[in-house]
Amino acid sequence: MKKGKKKKKLNKKKIIIISSFITIFIILLLLLFFFMPIVVFKKDIVVEVNSHVKTNYFVSNIFLGKIEDKEIYAETVGQGKANIQVKSLFGRVKNYQVTYTVKDTKGPDIESKDTLEIEINSTDDVLKNIKITDNSKLDIESKIEGDYKINELGDYKIKVIAKDKYNNKSSKDIVLKIIDTTKPQIEASSEITINVGTKIDLLKNVKVTDNSKENIKPSVQGKYDINKTGNYKLKYYAKDKSGNEATKDFTLKVIKKNQDIKETVNKTIKTSKGYTLIIKNGVASIDGVIIANKTYSLPSTYGNGLTSTTSSAFKKMQTAAKNDGLSIYISSGFRSYQTQVAVYNSWVQKDGKSVADTYSARPGYSEHQTGLAMDLNTINQSFANTKEYKWLQENAYKYGFIMRYPKNKQNITGYIYEPWHYRYVGESLAKTLYNNGNWITIEEHFGIDSKYQ
Ligand SMILES: [Zn+2]
């Protein structure tokens, strides 16, 4: 009896222990399930601007959980906010928001070779050859320290200094090499004709220029005999200090005495826009377009009235204007050299030479002598207020005419705004120069000057 009672008591105790273990286990499981990991975030987080940062970077410690792996991109300087997801062991997710400061503490990046070669007398900014970037992507101040002479060959030690918007500085030492790899330019006649036995200085009208701006003396290569008729193929030769050589072919024509020398000078010039300007018998032209301005004059004997092409183009234009109810007429068309002498002198007497030069051409320099130019209707500024002027502005180019001296181009054409002066250049070029009403001048288009020597 005693023994059986004892056994029963023991069983009861066992059941209590087991069930309480089970209960504790269940509670623990429940606790774990609802439990979120303990996360300790870093304080005063600073991130460099324009950098990618992993979310792990924001956390200093985490217990019983995992940070979702993500990248934050700090685009601009200031305050940033990042959402960070934390996962518990049971996969429960909680979102935290972390604030951080984005700063720019790095100086700009200066990207350049250690030795930078620049052509002598280059007008390009040296800094243009150096790539400077900053992680803030904002403006950078940059400058060069150290002396160098852009007009003198040599090696110069310079320092490039750059500063970003947040005052972070960086610098780079560079050797600036001023070099000359450009060959000289030879400007000369491509054909010279002389009578047999005539002494001639073949270098007289040869102009050699070089980007080094040094004085280069050209020479003539090839054999010729001024006492023997014939066509001699010769070369002009020029060499600069750096050894860059240039040659230009020309022909010396030695002809029989008393035979007419028809083409005395036949010169070609490359314009700044790469066009070839030809001077033949004293008349300059580019691609067949005759040039008459303050740089390129005409021989006194040139011209005899409006060219037939100009006349017929004008008549067509006049008819079209008439159909629109407008009257356009020529007030001054062709003017010979002699006429221009009188015109110019009278203006000089009235306004003085320097003022007259702004609107009246010196003899030989007038476009009216080409037979391609004309002054229409009223020859004064008031013409700009008329319907006829407005019509010409919109339609003249269709007939091959351009407004030759537009507004605000005096420093280019050499002449004041002349609303009345039109010039025939042909329909295709006229359309280009019309430029939808924003006139381009002949000088700008071809890359030539208009200045009295
Ligand atoms: Zn005119």
Query: H/E/C letters for each residue in 236-273?
Result: EEEECCCCCEEEEEEEEEEECCCCCCCCCEEEEEECCC
Q: How far is the CA of 331 from the centre of ligand 1 (A)?
A: 9
> What's the pLDDT score for residue 12?
87
Q: How far is the CA of 368 from the centre of ligand 1 (A)?
A: 6
Encoded amino acid at 433, one letter: L
Average pLDDT, the chain: 91
Q: How far is the CA of 311 from the centre of ligand 1 (A)?
A: 16
> How do residues 416-436 score in pLDDT, each as one tens digit?
999 999 999 999 999 999 999
What's the predicted TM-score (pTM) here? 0.49
Span between the terminal Cα atoms of the chain, in Å: 144
221: pLDDT strictly greater than 90: yes
Query: Where does the pLDDT of residue 258 fall: very low under 50, low under 70, confident under 90, or very high at 90 and above?
Result: low
Averaged over 152-172, what is the pLDDT? 94
Q: How far is the CA of 373 from the centre of ligand 1 (A)?
A: 7
Among 85-94, 106-115, 127-136, where is mean pLDDT lowest?
Answer: 85-94
Pick the closest to residue 112 from 126, 95, 124 (CA basis). 126
Q: How far is the CA of 423 from the centre of ligand 1 (A)?
A: 9
Q: How far is the CA of 217 from the centre of ligand 1 (A)?
A: 42
Q: How far is the CA of 421 from the centre of ligand 1 (A)?
A: 5
> What's the pLDDT score for residue 92?
82
**DSSP secondary-structure letter at 110?**
E
> What's the pLDDT score for residue 131?
93
Among 131-135, 187-191, 371-375, 432-436, where is mean pLDDT lowest?
Answer: 187-191
> What's the pLDDT score for residue 106?
92
Q: How far is the CA of 270 from the centre of ligand 1 (A)?
A: 28
Q: How far is the CA of 374 from the centre of ligand 1 (A)?
A: 6
Cα 170 to Cα 132: distance, rounded to the nearest angstrom:
10
Query: Where does the pLDDT of residue 255 fall: very low under 50, low under 70, confident under 90, or very high at 90 and above?
Result: confident
Q: How far is the CA of 375 from the centre of ligand 1 (A)?
A: 5
> What's the pLDDT score for residue 63?
84
* Domains of the chain, residue spans: 42-103, 109-179, 185-267, 308-446
> What's the pLDDT score for residue 7?
72
Domain 185-267, CATH number (from 1.25.10.10, 3.30.70.120, 2.60.40.10, 3.20.20.70): 2.60.40.10
> What's the pLDDT score for residue 369?
96
Q: How far is the CA of 327 from the centre of ligand 1 (A)?
A: 19
Q: How far is the CA of 1 from the centre of ligand 1 (A)?
A: 146
Give 262 or 310, the one with higher predicted confidence: 310
> How do residues 184-195 score in pLDDT, each as one tens digit?
988 888 888 888
Give 44 or 398, the one with higher predicted confidence: 398
11: pLDDT strictly greater than 90: no
Q: How far is the CA of 130 from the centre of ligand 1 (A)?
A: 49
Q: How far is the CA of 376 from the centre of ligand 1 (A)?
A: 8
> What's the pLDDT score for residue 239?
96
Domain 109-179, CATH number (from 2.60.40.10, 2.70.150.10, 3.40.640.10, 3.40.50.10490): 2.60.40.10
Residue range 308-446 forms a domain whose CATH class is: alpha beta
392: pLDDT strictly greater than 90: yes
> How do residues 26-38 score in pLDDT, each as one tens digit?
988 887 777 778 8
> How do residues 267-309 score in pLDDT, each as one tens digit?
788 899 999 998 888 899 999 999 999 999 998 889 999 999 9
> What's the pLDDT score for residue 262?
53
Q: How far is the CA of 452 from the centre of ligand 1 (A)?
A: 18
> What's the pLDDT score for residue 442?
97
Cα 80 to Cα 99: distance, rounded to the nearest angstrom:
6
Q: How far is the CA of 366 from the centre of ligand 1 (A)?
A: 8
Instruction: Tell me if domain 185-267 and domain 308-446 are identical in fold.
Output: no
Task: Tell the burial category of 368 from Cβ atoms under 10 Å away from its Cβ (0-12, 13-18, 19+).
Answer: buried
Query: Where does the pLDDT of residue 259 fall: very low under 50, low under 70, confident under 90, or very high at 90 and above?
Result: low
